[in-house]
Structures are given as structure tokens and as C-alpha cells.
């Protein structure tokens, strides 16, 4: 039997061992670029634990600061919901003109912080008031149909059709969901079905209670950024909602960044009259920042510290850029990461209980790093020759002394912050605020130099010497309250002396009151009448008063006031010296303000000009290496066009510019300069040139001009 043979084979391939792709962790990124990898894991762990603690405390602080305004909002919403459910006369009077309960939440210009506030508000509303909460942003509500669709979709969770002509691909992909028409009547039917199925008939309600009935919860719509919404869209939405307020317990919350008058500017009277508006004012961002600095920076709880220049950079970015406390905390996080990443000795930046173990694990290289610290060198110069030899030769001796230095740093911080607060209490109410109105200003002054050497400090002490008794005693009592915790022996001793001074002031008040009472009892009835005198007697009495003023002695109160101020001055000189006077302060303090400013305070114009004039700086391609002031002909087109435009005047001829560009590109392609095609403009070069010029125009270096049709105007001067 003839058969046609077809060769067949079975080949076995052994599966190669596939290398699993290792996913990078945060610790891996932390390790990259570190100078010392010996203790990098310990430093990362310390950094992570410290940041987790700061983050937790920040969240708690944020909740505490927002608690008052959020509680007021909840009370307002509960009250409106209760009146709607009970159909009381108060609600009828509110709704006589179809008014919608509206809360105008003024949050300030620190827009980056608003998300946290609205997130907390939404969580609180869903937890204690209603599950029906919708948050809207202007960028997703460009038209009324989009706004309505967002509201209904987030409430009902259904695929909605805005109109019959709208594309229905989105609905067809979700076949298991019910498709409904996008309108408030649909929402009204859905809400009635939800509340009727959840209701329990016959349940009695207490008229005195204002707690929310979970069977008729309100529908809250939050407009996060009111100023960014299209006024026409907002007006139409309010007009539609006003027709359903008798069927739906609708409530609106407006997030306002500028001023409450924005509502009147955006809405005409015919629309704003449909709203029953109540204003809620949040805590100002400057007060929020002061609280954050007080809880996170002016405390000995966290070992990580900021130098005066670094803190000044963060505060300046806050005051002159965004007023965002959230960005301030991010800057603090960046400083924390930079410190633990770039400083190998930051392994000692830990709690007091962990210092001994970390000092014992220091390597020989770490000990050498300790010896290179400026504070260590200053300490060695002040020691005896024998001690200097020990410090420079014995690693074990350095480790033993490091433990003492770290403990002294902890004691320094525990004494520093209470005395700083006491000085701020005494000087924050003085005229013109010589040492600053905020405690952060005084803190920065103390970090940079000896504060008692400043003229402002001397001026403050002179003003304190003129304080009245009541003001001085009140300030000293506040200082006593600050010193009461008494974490160190020196603060407890200072508290004892301060209480003794206050006791002397109290005795002085009692003695003055007794003298006044005795004088009133002993004075005869007619002693207070004026006596008849002549010119000679008047001259004699005036000369006697003048002599008495010259030889006047200080009163008991003035002596006691001077004694109190001398005591305060001694505390300042003892405890408010700059931290760089402490040995090994570099372990705790981050001082690279230039790095922090470069990361946080961006300069886009400088970066763009650097990229265009020196593309190698970013691309790191060796073919782009050139002498300073020149650009390689192999550079990107926009760099070549940018370099050529620097050689032109105020008006640039586009044809000449194109000819020059074509010549440079021909040289980059390696064409013979003597050939006929060298420098010739073809379609490809023309298109590349047009694209590069369009990019320069987009970046703002040139613009079209009506002076000459074939020219563009240059908008910059000089190069990078």
C-alpha cells in the first residue's frame, strides 16, 4: 500500500528557571545613593517609625482642629433633618419659598488642605447622619447633565442615560445594572422606595429629640470648590432641586476658599433666595500652622529637629506660596528622609532608651565620622591635652563620651522648650512685638544665635520693666503653669523660685491694701480739703518735690519687678543657647536648607532654560557634551532652535531662522559642506522646524506679531 510519508516529531524543551522580578520596596529606594550601607536598615527603621508617629499625631491634631466646625455642621444638618421629618412649623416657615438648607463652609485659601477636611466631613456624615453623601468637583461637572449624572450615579449606583441621543456604550457594558433616566424625579422615586422599605410603621418619635431618623436620612451634596463651578450649571441645579424639596430632604454644602460673598456673585437673587444659607468659618491656616509647629517641632518628644534656616524655608514656602499645612508637613517629611538618608550618624537620632545599644554598635568608620563633626572638634579644643589624646585615639572612649553627649542633648531639649514658651508668654503682648508675635519667630531667633545679644531682646526687656503689676503677675503665673510638669531638676528649681516671686507679689498686694485701709481710718474728716497758700509757699513746695524726685528710691514693686526680670534673664541665658553649642548636635538637627529649597521651591523657568541650553544636563548623552555656551548639532530640534533664537534681536525672521536650522541639521547628518544638498530645506526639516518653533511658543519664548507677517517676537533676554 503506497503511502505518503510525512515526518513528525515531538520535541521536549525543559522549562528554564524564570527569574522572578523583584519588586522594589521603600527600603530599596532608601538604600540607593546612601553613603554608608552598614547601618542603612537601622536608619530606615528609625526613620519609618518616627514618621509613622508624626503622621499619627498629625491626623489626631487635624481631627481636633476640625472638630468644632464639623460638630457645628452635624448639628445644623441634624436640625434641618429633624424639622423635615416632623413637618414642624419651623420647617414650613423655612420652606415657604422652597428654600434648600445650605451650609457655606469657609475654609480659606489653603486649597490643598481642603481634601482632608471634606474627607473627615464625609466620613462623619456617613457614620452618624446619612449614607447618602455626594462630593462633587468642578472639573467633573462641566455641564448640567454631567452634574446630574454624577449625583444620581453615586447615590443609586446605576448606569444612567442623560438623553436618548447620548452614546450608550457605557450602559451596554454593565448589563447587570438597571438603566434609569437621569432626573431628580427618578431620584425621588428611588429615595421613596428605599425609605419605605426600611421604615417601621407605628414607631413613636420623641419630640424633644433631634437625633436623625435613619429611615428618612437626608441627601447631602457637597460642592468642594464652589468658585470653580460654572455659575450657570450651579443655578440650574439649584432651580431644579428647589422643586423637589418637599419630597426630598436635600441639603447643600458649599466649600468656599475666598469669601462668602462669592455666593452672591455667582448666583442671582432669584436663585440665592431659594437657599437657606448658614455660614461656618473654619480655623485659619496660620493658626493651624502654629498648632502643628507647637505639637510637632516645639517638643522634646521627637528626637529629629530642624535648624533655623530649614524651618525658615518651610515657613516661607507656607506664607508666600500656598498657605498649605499639608504641604508644610510634606516638607517636614522630606527633611526627615534627607537627614536619615544622607547622615550616617543619624542612627543615633533615636529615643533615649535606644541610644546605648546604637552607640555600642558604631563601627570604626562611624567613630571617625564623629571625630570629623565641627561640634566634636570644638569640644576637643577645650579639653586638657591628655583628654584630647584619648578622644583622638581611643574609639571606646569616644563611644563612652557619645552616650553622655546624647543624654545632655535630651536634657537640653527638655529645658529649652519650657523656657522658650515662658519667654514667648512674656514678650508676645509687648508693643510692636520685638521678639515676634508667633513663637516660631522667637524659636528661629534662638536657633541662629544667642538671643540675648540681639537688640530686639534688649528692647523687649526694657518694655518688660515698664509693665504694670497686674500684667506682669498674670504673665508670671502663665510661666508657672508652663513649668509645672517639671521634667528636669533645673525646671523644677526654676518653678520653685518663680512661685516664691509670685508669693512676694501677693504679700505686696496685701500690704498695700492694709496701708490704704489704715490711712482711711486715721485721716480726720477735714484733712482732705485744700489749704490756702501764697506764692512763696507754692515755690517752696515745688522745689521740695523736685529734690525728692532726684533722690527718689525705687518702690517695693519696682524692686520686685526687677528681681523677677533678672530671674527670667538668667533662665534665658542658661537654657536658650543655640543648639550648635551642644556637642554632637548634628546627629539630631537637619540643616541642608539649600537641598530642601531646591526640592520644594521649584524654579521651572531656570530648569527649562538649562534643559534647552545644556541638554546633556538631563539626557546624560556623551554626544551632547559641548563647551559652555554652545549646543551640539546632535541635540534635539528644540535645543537647536532655542540656541539660534538667542542670536537674534527682538524680531526674528522665520525664513532666516529656518535656513540656519537647516544648515545645523545638515552638519549633524554628516553631509559634505560643498555638496548641493547641504543646508537645503526639505519637507522633513520644514516640519521638524515648525514643531520646534511651536514648542518654543508654547513655552513662552516667542509669540506671533502683527508688525511683520513673516516674523515672530522674542519674549526673553539673554541666555540661561
pLDDT of residue 195: 81
Q: Note the pLDDT tens digit of each residue in 593-651.
A: 999 998 888 788 888 888 888 888 888 888 788 777 677 778 888 999 998 988 888 89
Q: Note the pLDDT tens digit of each residue in 189-230.
A: 888 888 876 544 444 433 333 344 456 788 999 999 999 999
If pLDDT is split at 50, 70 and 90, which confidence band does 232 have?
Answer: very high
Q: Note the pLDDT tens digit of each residue in 68-121.
A: 888 999 888 888 877 665 555 554 444 444 689 999 999 988 888 898 889 889
Q: Do residues 318 and 328 lie in contact, with contact meaning Cβ atoms separated by under 8 Å?
A: yes
CB burial of residue 543 (10 Å; 0-12, 13-18, 19+): exposed
Phi, psi values for residue 246, rounded to 5°? -80, -10
Cα torsion 405, 410, 416, 419 to 10°: value is: -130
CATH number given to 65-162+178-194+213-283: 3.40.50.300
CB burial of residue 525 (10 Å; 0-12, 13-18, 19+): exposed
Strand partners, 160: 180
H or E element in which residue 652 lies: strand 651-653
| Cα(318)–Cα(695) distance, integer angstroms | 33
| Cα(125)–Cα(77) distance, integer angstroms | 9
Q: Note the pLDDT tens digit of each residue in 473-482.
A: 999 999 999 9
Q: Do residues 274 and 100 lie in contact, with contact meaning Cβ atoms separated by under 8 Å?
A: yes
Phi, psi values for residue 509, rounded to 5°? -65, -40
CB within 8 A of 566, min separation 6: which ones? none
pLDDT of residue 339: 94
Q: Where are the domains of the chain?
A: 65-162+178-194+213-283, 288-516+555-590, 604-714
Nearest to 297 by CA among 306, 308, 286: 306
Phi, psi values for residue 708, rounded to 5°? -140, 130
| Cα(77)–Cα(71) distance, integer angstroms | 10
CB within 8 A of 45, min separation 6: which ones? none
H or E element in which residue 254 lies: strand 250-256
Which residue do the cell numbers 421604615 mark?
A: 199
If pLDDT is split at 50, 70 and 90, which confidence band does 719 have?
Answer: very low
In this predicted structure, the answer to whether residue 572 has a pLDDT above a threshold of 70 is: yes
How many Cβ atoms sit within 10 Å of the Cβ of residue 197?
Answer: 8
In this predicted structure, the answer to whether residue 589 has a pLDDT above a threshold of 90 is: yes
Q: Note the pLDDT tens digit of each residue in 306-350.
A: 999 999 999 999 999 889 999 999 999 999 999 999 899 999 999
- Per DSSP, the three-state class of 642 is helix
Amino acid at each position: 500500500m503506497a503511502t505518503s510519508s510525512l515526518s513528525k516529531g515531538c520535541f521536549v524543551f525543559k522549562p528554564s528557571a524564570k527569574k522572578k522580578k523583584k519588586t522594589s520596596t521603600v527600603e530599596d529606594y532608601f538604600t540607593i545613593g546612601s553613603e554608608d550601607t552598614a547601618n542603612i536598615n537601622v536608619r530606615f527603621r528609625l526613620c519609618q517609625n518616627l514618621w509613622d508617629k508624626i503622621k499619627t499625631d498629625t491626623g489626631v491634631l487635624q481631627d481636633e482642629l476640625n472638630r468644632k466646625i464639623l460638630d457645628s455642621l452635624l448639628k445644623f444638618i441634624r436640625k434641618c433633618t429633624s424639622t423635615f421629618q416632623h413637618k414642624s412649623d419651623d420647617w414650613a416657615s423655612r420652606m415657604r419659598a422652597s428654600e434648600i438648607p445650605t451650609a457655606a463652609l469657609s475654609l480659606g485659601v489653603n486649597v490643598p488642605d481642603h481634601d482632608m477636611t471634606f474627607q473627615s466631613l464625609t466620613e462623619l456624615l456617613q457614620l452618624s447622619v446619612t449614607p447618602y453623601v455626594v462630593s462633587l468637583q468642578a472639573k467633573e461637572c462641566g455641564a448640567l447633565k454631567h452634574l446630574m449624572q454624577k449625583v444620581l450615579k453615586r447615590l443609586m449606583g446605576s448606569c444612567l442615560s442623560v438623553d436618548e441621543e447620548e452614546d450608550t456604550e457605557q450602559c451596554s457594558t454593565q448589563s447587570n445594572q438597571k438603566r434609569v433616566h437621569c432626573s431628580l424625579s427618578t431620584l425621588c422615586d428611588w429615595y421613596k422606595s428605599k425609605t419605605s422599605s426600611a421604615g417601621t410603621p407605628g414607631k413613636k418619635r420623641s419630640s424633644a429629640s433631634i437625633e436623625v431618623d435613619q429611615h428618612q436620612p437626608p441627601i447631602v451634596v457637597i460642592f468642594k470648590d464652589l468658585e470653580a463651578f460654572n455659575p450657570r450649571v450651579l443655578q440650574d441645579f439649584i432651580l431644579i432641586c428647589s422643586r423637589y424639596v418637599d419630597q426630598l430632604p436635600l441639603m447643600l454644602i458649599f466649600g468656599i476658599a475666598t469669601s462668602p460673598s462669592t455666593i452672591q456673585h455667582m448666583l442671582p437673587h432669584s436663585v440665592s433666595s431659594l437657599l437657606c444659607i448658614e455660614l461656618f468659618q473654619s480655623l485659619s491656616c496660620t493658626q493651624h500652622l502654629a498648632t502643628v509647629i507647637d505639637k510637632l517641632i516645639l517638643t522634646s518628644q521627637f528626637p529629629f529637629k530642624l535648624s533655623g534656616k530649614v524651618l525658615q524655608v518651610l515657613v516661607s514656602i507656607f506664607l508666600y506660596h500656598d498657605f498649605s499645612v499639608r504641604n508644610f508637613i510634606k516638607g517636614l517629611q522630606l527633611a526627615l528622609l534627607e537627614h536619615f538618608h544622607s547622615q550616617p550618624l543619624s542612627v543615633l537620632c533615636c529615643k533615649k532608651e535606644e541610644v546605648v545599644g546604637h552607640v555600642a554598635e558604631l563601627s570604626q568608620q562611624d567613630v571617625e565620622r564623629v571625630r570629623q563633626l565641627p561640634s566634636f572638634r570644638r569640644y576637643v579644643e577645650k579639653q586638657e591635652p591628655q583628654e584630647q589624646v584619648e578622644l583622638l585615639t581611643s574609639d571606646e572612649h569616644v563611644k563612652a563620651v557619645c552616650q553622655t553627649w546624647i543624654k545632655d542633648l535630651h536634657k537640653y531639649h527638655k529645658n529649652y522648650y519650657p523656657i522658650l514658651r515662658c519667654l514667648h508668654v512674656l514678650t508676645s503682648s509687648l508693643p510692636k512685638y520685638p521678639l515676634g508675635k508667633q513663637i516660631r519667630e522667637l524659636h528661629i531667633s534662638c536657633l541662629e544665635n544667642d538671643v540675648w545679644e540681639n537688640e530686639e531682646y534688649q528692647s523687649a526687656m526694657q518694655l518688660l520693666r515698664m509693665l504694670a503689676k497686674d500684667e506682669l503677675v498674670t504673665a508670671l503665673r502663665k510661666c508657672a503653669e508652663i513649668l509645672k510638669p517639671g521634667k528636669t531638676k533645673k525646671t523644677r528649681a526654676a518653678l520653685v523660685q518663680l512661685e516664691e516671686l509670685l508669693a512676694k507679689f501677693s504679700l505686696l498686694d496685701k500690704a498695700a491694701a492694709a496701708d490704704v485701709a489704715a490711712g482711711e481710718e486715721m485721716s480726720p474728716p477735714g484733712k482732705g480739703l485744700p489749704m490756702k497758700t501764697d506764692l512763696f509757699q507754692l515755690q517752696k513746695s515745688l522745689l521740695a518735690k523736685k529734690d525728692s524726685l532726684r533722690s527718689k528710691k525705687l518702690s517695693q514693686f519696682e524692686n520686685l519687678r526687677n528681681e523677677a526680670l533678672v530671674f527670667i534673664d538668667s533662665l534665658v541665658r542658661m537654657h536658650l543657647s543655640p543648639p550648635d553649642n551642644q556637642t554632637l548636635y548634628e546627629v539630631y538637627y537637619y540643616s541642608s536648607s539649600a537641598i530642601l529649597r531646591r526640592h520644594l521651591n521649584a524654579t521651572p523657568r531656570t530648569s527649562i532654560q538649562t534643559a534647552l541650553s545644556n541638554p546633556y544636563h538631563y539626557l546624560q548623552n556623551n554626544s551632547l557634551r559641548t563647551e559652555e555656551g554652545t549646543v551640539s548639532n546632535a541635540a534635539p530640534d528644540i535645543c537647536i532652535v532655542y540656541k539660534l533664537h538667542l542670536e537674534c534681536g527682538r524680531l526674528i525672521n522665520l525664513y532666516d531662522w529656518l535656513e540656519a536650522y537647516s544648515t545645523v541639521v545638515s552638519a549633524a547628518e554628516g553631509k559634505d559642506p560643498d555638496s548641493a544638498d547641504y543646508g537645503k530645506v526639505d519637507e522633513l526639516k520644514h516640519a521638524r522646524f515648525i514643531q520646534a518653533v511651536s514648542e518654543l511658543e508654547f513655552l513662552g519664548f516667542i509669540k506671533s506679531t502683527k508688525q511683520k507677517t513673516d516674523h515672530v517676537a522674542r519674549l526673553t533676554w539673554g541666555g540661561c
